[in-house]
Chains A and B, each alone.
Chain A
């Protein structure tokens, strides 16, 4: 099967049995790969009774048809399971080299089931898979783990994905960390690994992805590289990393400040990619074959002196910076380092901590609750201490390890927690780009910016060839709902391919890459329906896991207006956006599920009876 290695590795951790399964070419045609394929594949294997942290929850690492080819922006993988953080569909992706190296090892994906009796890791080298003892790695951080496995398995160039102590301790938003500091951070996939006593996966080999039309593919790769280099977004990312977003969008109220209570806080510029480049930056890192290299390598001095840090990225400088009114760039870099080493999602960790700051400053949390820590706005030190406590489930950290929804529930202010379905909002305030409100409310994995970056579209990155047009960022309208649905379909396809959303070659180039690799001969008109099929598939799976229309809600605080004369913001009007979006999606107003007609239209008729 061109574009694929053609097989999945099945690992039953309970019995230690390893086996293989051929990829179903029909399913690949329908769902492409990555998270889209994973949703369909796991649909038959989980239901509302599946304990996310029980042996019965299957965990799938999956790549897509472009991963590990020469195509830029495709050095990624997805990791999917029922999420312990949300109880819904869990999906997270990461860059680096792990995805390509998994393919080079001979497989498109790995499915884990069961639970190992003792700490274990999986090694796949050139098609040979083995489970190995990881007792000596348990308790080690993610960097130590990667170093130890590299030393143990000399001879093959490897990429390693692993968990740190947060995953071992089942922190609900534990991340999977690969290639030193790359993170599949969202929805707690690290905790699922921890629940299975699975410490790491090491992959490498000499395999090559078979291509249907190598010449056409190569031409598409060249054209894509040129397009990416010309894209000013890519140039900003190269120069300033993802934190360049701070510099460009803070004036629109995009970056949330003081736990979503201020539209503009000018010192945040000290956390931007521009300042970083002129101060602590020592190098850049790129995912496999990426010509942008948005990854930052930094060095900090002072009280947390660290020679080499992966990051910080945009989400981290916001979550550990502006959310608690700290402009301490070195502090946010250190927070990034701690989260990488412990294996924590910086968005959920930082946002939950910022919520604790807010509750403390409102007198709802007291020093007794915090173990004497003073959570004063502007001081990052307590946030760093809390991060360590979360990772080790110590003190207040044990509660914070459950996320902001649990923290709010404990103190009777759940409606003040900035989360959707248990997943904390990424650092793009929906009052700066109202389309993000709709994305957060309806994304299949809780508040997520990866399944629909309306902030980028309305900032200036439309996709006119797919009729995704630039719009007024503050206008809640039928048109906005339509554009948002298209963007979400498009990004869902990206997560099936699996492709980086940060820089966007034209849809025609993506099409050429996909056709060149697979030989599928798709037309441009088929791209959005491909994305929508996977999107609705995730919705159906969420329905099976208990989601209804009542879940599609934004947290109250982001529906309150922000007042700052220097910045124009507007809360999303969900009374306009949501009904329009439901009509476009053909979702039932109570169940929240697509109609039988829409499912049939999308080729999902076999699921109608469910």
Chain B
């Protein structure tokens, strides 16, 4: 089990992405790097920033960042811990999450709309990481 949004969890996610044939196929022409941000609140004392660089179906780099200043990613997705949990548990579709404003997205909307299938595969990858959420 990996603690959600820890350095170990991020590395396990990288591995899950890179061993996913589904993701490799769905994202073979897609490129872009992300901040996945868990908002402060509840057991999350301060906002947690995960960086993931996705390039043509592989994850080139993934790490936990001390804050938002380390990188300048093309996309930033922000949500609270319960919302991230719902996405990872496949109880909330990411598009639905964005439409209901539970998840906030910054970045090029055209690129995002072309990545819906890749996003679904990415969610599948997260489900393959044994995850322990903070109580």
Contact = CB atoms under 8 A, between A and B. Distances in A.
B109 A235 contact: yes
A470 B99 CA distance: 11
The A interface, classified by DSSP as helix, strand, loop or mixed, is helix
Contact of B110 (A232, A250, A278, A459): A278
B123 to A, nearest CB: 12
B114 interface: yes
Interface string B66-103: 00000000000000000000000000010111111100
Contact of A248 (B95, B97, B108, B110): B95
Interface string A218-237: 00000000000010110110
A272 interface: yes
A273 B117 contact: no
B116 interface: yes
B1 interface: no
A274 interface: yes
B79 to A, nearest CB: 13
B95 A274 contact: no
Given A232-B105, A247-B116, A251-B120, A274 B111 contact: yes
B109 A236 contact: yes
B113 interface: yes
Contacts of B96: 459-460, 470
Interface string A231-258: 0110110111000100110110000000
Interface string A439-479: 00000000000000000000111100000001000000000
A447 to B, nearest CB: 24
Contact of A239 (B98, B101, B109, B116): B109
Contacts of A278: 110
Contacts of A244: 109, 113
Nearest to A240: B113
Contacts of B116: 247-248, 250-251
A269 B113 CA distance: 10
Contact of B113 (A230, A247, A460, A470): A247
A238 B100 contact: no
Given A232-B105, A251-B120, A274 B99 contact: no
Interface string B114-128: 101100100000000
Interface in A483-524: none
A464 B102 CA distance: 14
Nearest to A238: B109
A470 B86 CA distance: 15
A274 B93 CA distance: 20
Contacts of A460: 93, 95-100
B110 A240 contact: yes
B6 to A, nearest CB: 29
A302 B105 CA distance: 37
A262 interface: no
Contacts, number: 57
A370 interface: no
A548 interface: no
Given A232-B105, A460-B100, A470-B100, A273 B95 contact: no
B114 A272 contact: yes
Contacts of B110: 239-240, 273-274, 277-278
A273 B105 contact: no
Given A233-B99, A459-B99, A470-B100, A275 B109 contact: no
Contacts of A248: 95, 113, 116
Contacts of A462: 100
A235 B110 CA distance: 10
Nearest to A464: B100
Given A459-B99, A460-B100, A269 B105 contact: no
Contacts of B105: 232
Contact of B114 (A230, A233, A235, A274): A274
B113 A232 contact: no
Interface in B11-34: none
Nearest to A273: B113
Interface string A253-296: 00000000000000001001111011000000000000000000
B99 A232 contact: yes
B58 to A, nearest CB: 21
A470 B92 CA distance: 12
Contacts of B108: 239
A250 B113 CA distance: 11
Interface string A179-218: 0000000000000000000000000000000000000000
Contacts of B109: 235-236, 238-240, 244
Contacts of A235: 109
B113 A236 contact: yes
A250 B95 CA distance: 12
A275 B110 CA distance: 8
B75 to A, nearest CB: 13
A230 B96 CA distance: 15
A251 B100 contact: no
A461 B99 contact: yes
Contacts of B98: 232, 460
A121 to B, nearest CB: 41
B112 to A, nearest CB: 8
Contacts of B99: 232-233, 459-461
Contacts of B114: 247, 269, 272, 274-275
B80 to A, nearest CB: 16
Contacts of A459: 95-96, 99
Contacts of A461: 99-100
Contacts of A240: 109-110, 113
> Nearest 10 pairs between A and B by C-beta?
A460-B99, A239-B109, A274-B114, A247-B113, A460-B96, A274-B113, A277-B110, A460-B100, A232-B98, A239-B110
Given A247-B116, A248-B116, A460-B99, 13 more contacts: A236-B109, A238-B109, A239-B109, A244-B113, A248-B95, A251-B117, A251-B120, A269-B117, A273-B113, A460-B95, A460-B97, A460-B98, A462-B100
8 contacts: A232-B101, A239-B113, A244-B109, A248-B95, A272-B114, A274-B113, A459-B96, A462-B100
Interface of A: 230, 232-233, 235-236, 238-240, 244, 247-248, 250-251, 269, 272-275, 277-278, 459-462, 470
